Amino acid sequence: MKLKEQKNEILEKEEKKPKNLKQKKNFNKKIIIYIALGLVVIYLIYTIYLLIKQPTDIFTLEEGTLYSEETDIGYIIRDEVVIQGENYKNGMEKIKSEGEKVAVNEAVFRYYTKNEDSLKQKIAELDTKIQEAMANETETELFPSDIKSLETQIEEKLAGISNIKDTTKLEETKKEINELVTKKANIAGDLSPQGSYLKELIEERKNYESELNSGAEYVNSSKSGVVSYKVDGFEDVLKPTDECFSSLSKDYLETLDLKTGKTIPTSDESGKIVDNTYCYIATITNTEEAKNAKVGDKVNVRLPSGEEVSAEISYILEEESGERVLIIKIEKGVEELINYRKISFDLIWWSAQGLKIPNQAIVKENELAYVVRNRAGYLNKILVKVKKEGDKYSIVEPYDTEELKELGFTSEEIISYKKISLYDEVILNPDLSKVDE
């Protein structure tokens, strides 16, 4: 029995031995995998650290634009005159559309008469009867060549009316059609025998039309400019005069209680004539550029639409707080601003275009600027002219021959002068001791 038990123990040990070896091998593999993963993680962490510490030591030159700008709130000041008649409570019909140019004493709009709806209804009914009566007249009586020409014009305008999307243009076309129909009817009436049915209808229509026109009040422009129906009541408050400019303090502008970007509502009682050749933007700012600004300085303004226009500082007021009220004149984009009284805009003090380069690639020596260019591993220190310097980047360009002469360069030095160009590679934070002579 003992021999049998010993034999079984030996067999069990032999069976367990391969399993232990297999487990040991699996354990070793896991250790190796964990070590490899650990090394990869360490490498990634180190790489990210290097990228954060210094993303790259080489920069490729490209064309770019550098700005010095700020976003401000501006109050619009225009040369504008409100026009209004006596019968403004009757409602109005626009003769000139929004933004349309007018001359002095030209009709802009008219007020309706008291019985206008009734008179128009009677005229419309008569037009139907006139058309029916004209259809019964003979061609010889109506001079078909004249009538045919008018009918052709009417048909052409009716054919194109379905394609008109602009409501103002649509109203104008309808008005033109009515005028052609009236002209056609008048010709027919003049040629009809006295006492005829058609003649009586046309005479009756003329009487109603005369009554309609005699009761209407037409309002004419008091100056040349563009028409606008955006009337907000500030036309006589924010005016381009020295008296107005001198009163535009920060407190005064804020008491106007205007909302930024709000569109001026359209009036149905009055209109105005706006000088569209210029306007002003008053803004409050305390930036360093504003503190150093002078009357007559040229700047750029980026309007809400994104359009960038040239401008000039025309007036400056000092605030006790150290802020300044700048009044800026613009002569382009005026029509866009007619819709607003207070806007958000970008004031651009200066801008420069050229080769854009990080400031950390520029080295200063004896008040001159240099970069270190890398070409196929060869490093050269190259003199550059800094056109404009920003917080992080600068716009640079090579010197021309005359400029190098002014700097005192000899003819030999000018001939051997190396220039940077587009797509050159420059070194960031360069070590000048490693530059090739």
Confidence of residue 40 (pLDDT cuts 50, 70, 90): confident
Average pLDDT of 401-414?
Answer: 90
Answer yes or no: do 183 and 274 share one domain.
no
**Do residues 352 and 315 lie in contact, with contact meaning Cβ atoms separated by under 8 Å?**
no
Answer yes or no: do 375 and 428 share one domain.
yes
**Rounded Cα distance, 390 and 133, in Å:** 81
Q: Which amino acid does the sequence have at 366? A: N
Answer yes or no: do 143 and 123 share one domain.
yes
Per the structure, the complete domain to which residue 400 belongs is given by 355-434
Question: pLDDT, tens digit, for every residue of 275-293?
Answer: 999 999 999 999 999 999 9
Which of 328, 353, 378 corresponds to the end of one domain? Answer: 353
With respect to residue 220, please indicate whether it lies within any of the assigned structural domains.
Answer: no
Question: pLDDT, tens digit, for every residue of 91-127?
Answer: 888 999 999 999 999 999 988 877 777 777 877 787 7
pLDDT at 258: 96
With respect to residue 101, please indicate whether it lies within any of the assigned structural domains.
Answer: no
Average pLDDT value for the chain: 83
Answer yes or no: do 362 and 347 share one domain.
no
Which of 287, 321, 353 corresponds to the end of one domain? Answer: 353
Higher pLDDT, 382 or 216: 382
**Rounded Cα distance, 328 and 297, in Å:** 10
With respect to residue 298, please indicate whether it lies within any of the assigned structural domains.
Answer: yes
Average pLDDT of 402-425?
Answer: 90
The number of distinct structural domains making up the chain is 4
pTM over 0.75: no
Answer yes or no: do 429 and 388 share one domain.
yes
With respect to residue 154, please indicate whether it lies within any of the assigned structural domains.
Answer: yes
Answer yes or no: do 160 and 211 share one domain.
yes
Q: Considering only 26-35, 50-59, 209-218, which range has the smallest mean pLDDT?
A: 50-59
Q: What CATH number is associated with residue 316? A: 2.40.30.170
Answer yes or no: do 383 and 280 share one domain.
no
Answer yes or no: do 192 and 180 share one domain.
yes
The gap from C-alpha 25 to its chain's centroid, in whole angstroms, comes to 71
Answer yes or no: do 139 and 171 share one domain.
yes
With respect to residue 27, please indicate whether it lies within any of the assigned structural domains.
Answer: yes
Answer yes or no: do 133 and 165 share one domain.
yes
With respect to residue 94, please indicate whether it lies within any of the assigned structural domains.
Answer: no
Give the count of beta carbons closer than 10 Å to the beta carbon of residue 59. Answer: 19
Answer yes or no: do 202 and 141 share one domain.
yes
Which of 353, 388, 415 corresponds to the end of one domain? Answer: 353
The gap from C-alpha 241 to its chain's centroid, in whole angstroms, comes to 28
Answer yes or no: do 185 and 128 share one domain.
yes
Give the count of beta carbons closer than 10 Å to the beta carbon of residue 228. Answer: 25
Confidence of residue 80 (pLDDT cuts 50, 70, 90): very high
Q: Is 51 exposed, middle or buried (0-12, 13-18, 19+ CB in 10 A)?
A: exposed
Both tokens assigned to 417: 């002068």
Question: pLDDT, tens digit, for every residue of 336-361?
Answer: 999 999 999 999 999 889 999 999 99
Q: Is 133 exposed, middle or buried (0-12, 13-18, 19+ CB in 10 A)?
A: buried
pLDDT at 139: 46
pLDDT at 255: 94
Confidence of residue 19 (pLDDT cuts 50, 70, 90): low
With respect to residue 254, please indicate whether it lies within any of the assigned structural domains.
Answer: yes
Q: What CATH number is associated with residue 427? A: 2.40.420
pLDDT at 45: 75
